[in-house]
Amino acid sequence: MVTNVVIAAAGQGTRMLHLSKDKPKHLIEVNGRPFLAYVLDNLFLAGYRDVILVVGYKKELMDDFKSNYTAPGKEKFEISFVNQFEILGPKEKIYGTACPLMCIKDDIKEQFLFIGGDNLFSVEDLKEMNVDDSFNYVAGLVNDKPENYGVLISNGEYLEKIIEKPKEYVGNLINAGLYKFSPEVFSKLPLINKSPRGEFEITDVISLMSKDKKVKVKIIKDYWKDFGKPEDVEELSKFLNDQNNKGK
């Protein structure tokens, strides 16, 4: 059983504009609670118990958040921090979605879930990623505008490659940014280079593993909510209210 989770939450979230001026976007409140609280709630309810938060921007506010957060249950829920900016330097020096992996490569020796702190997935979909085997998994979601995302190209259950923002139609199953990794992922980090946009990309790591037939695709069946733009606050508020009403 997979119990460890790594959450990437080092960035400011500049697309949130004024809302992230004095706090990380992960701590912007929705219905009176920081967005990150909902992420942690669902991870706990899905059975994950050990969380590493890779932080950076306004770390002191993350400390305050941790002090005030209470998991929705009585079981033990461990939350620890790794400071990306202390380990790798500021984002002007090195940045990208693979950086959190670089920060925790010496801390994890077993399988783990990897998730962005600005993404909310359902409890059921998080449970589906808890696969106790030697393979790595990437979550995919059918989308009607695949040209705006990384598109997953698969052969049966195996991932062949990821095509970022394709100009021509190659499929409609997009990368949802939810992964289960085995420790072998760390061996691929020294093999990647900066992408054309000057960042170290987690998709480049995954592509290397897919060449070895080590990556499988899981389909998101419930929902994925990306928290990146100011309008997402109101949209998520309505979504959460609807979810609560369904549960009554």
Give the pLDDT confidence score for residue 248 in this predicted structure: 47
- Using alpha carbons only, give the angle 39, 184, 191 rounded to the nearest 5 degrees: 100
CA distance 147 to 171: 9
User: 179: which 2 tokens?
Assistant: 């992964």
Domains along the chain with CATH numbers: 4-247 (3.90.550.10)
Q: Which residues contact 172 (CB under 8 A, 6 or more apart)?
A: 142, 143, 144, 146, 151
Give the pLDDT confidence score for residue 111 in this predicted structure: 97
CA distance 62 to 246: 31
Query: Each residue of 31-61: pLDDT tens digit?
Result: 999 999 999 999 999 999 999 999 999 999 9
Q: What is the DSSP string of 198-225?
A: SS--HHHHHHHHHHTT-EEEEE--S-EE
Tens-digit pLDDT string for the chain (248 aa) = 999 999 999 999 999 999 999 999 999 999 999 999 999 999 999 999 999 999 999 999 999 999 999 999 999 999 999 999 999 998 889 999 999 999 999 999 999 999 999 999 999 999 999 999 999 999 999 999 999 999 999 999 999 999 999 999 999 999 999 999 999 999 999 999 999 989 999 999 999 999 999 999 999 999 999 999 999 999 999 999 999 888 64
Give the pLDDT confidence score for residue 129 in this predicted structure: 98
The single-letter DSSP state of residue 135 is -
The answer to whether 216 touches 136, Cβ cutoff 8 Å, is: yes
- Which is nearest to 136 in space by CA: 175, 177, 182? 182
Length of the chain: 248
Rg (CA), the chain: 17
Q: Which residues contact 53 (CB under 8 A, 6 or more apart)?
A: 7, 9, 62, 66, 79, 80, 81, 82, 117
CA distance 46 to 142: 23
Give the pLDDT confidence score for residue 197 in this predicted structure: 87
User: 149: which 2 tokens?
Assistant: 């995302």
